[in-house]
Structure 1
Amino acid sequence: MQWWPEYLQVLFYRKFSYRSLLAESHTIMIVGLLFSTIIEHSSFWIISCYSGILGIGIGMGILMTALNKLTQELVPKSQIGIATSSVNLFRSLGATIGVSVLGAVLNNRVSRAMKDNYLKHCIVKY
């Protein structure tokens, strides 16, 4: 029963223009990113982590829906389906490529860290 996010989006889109929603979503994402970077320097690291994740998630949610609606308004009525499916296709491709690249970087760093720590602990002095 997750009807309330869609309800809030309908209220936002009726009240605000697309340009203001695009600017606000970027601002929310930047604030969320800043909250997530103060984790090391804050004694409230859980709060800053959750507020960062929440801010980035809300900003991305508003941004993606606003871009979809904007795309549908910019194209002729006969090509709305093509434009919407193209936006969703390239969004999915970008997410797939981003996750695979970041997964490779994470895998490389974790394997290097494991080798370094393993070698430090396995040195036997005779």
Structure 2
Amino acid sequence: MNSKQLTLRDLNIKDELLFIKFYYKYLLSYCQEYDLQYNGLLAVEIIKLGEFIDKITSDEDAVIKDNDMKYLIRIAEGRVFKQIDELSPMYNRKNTHDILKIPRYKMYHILERHGF
């Protein structure tokens, strides 16, 4: 899948990934602070997303593995967010979609330009 041996530095999407990570981290903190009900799987999915982003952003010069590239594509297409959004009916999904639209679309167009 990543036959071009692309790195995160080549794709230049680190800022977008970090924005997404921190957005969901603070969303989860908000739910906890204000006692909003959410499915416990929501926390697990947000933690997994954060760990993935930490792993991939820790070395910008490492070649992105095929499974990681597939996950980046899922993020860019919005499929990861749909899965997370389904776990909590308590926050406005439209706002989440609007907030994440710009970083997600940038990632999508960059990946598309590289043939993914």
Q: TM-score when scaled to structure 1?
A: 0.35
**Greater C-alpha Rg:** 1
Greater share of helix: 1
Higher relative contact order (CA 8 A, sep 6+): 2
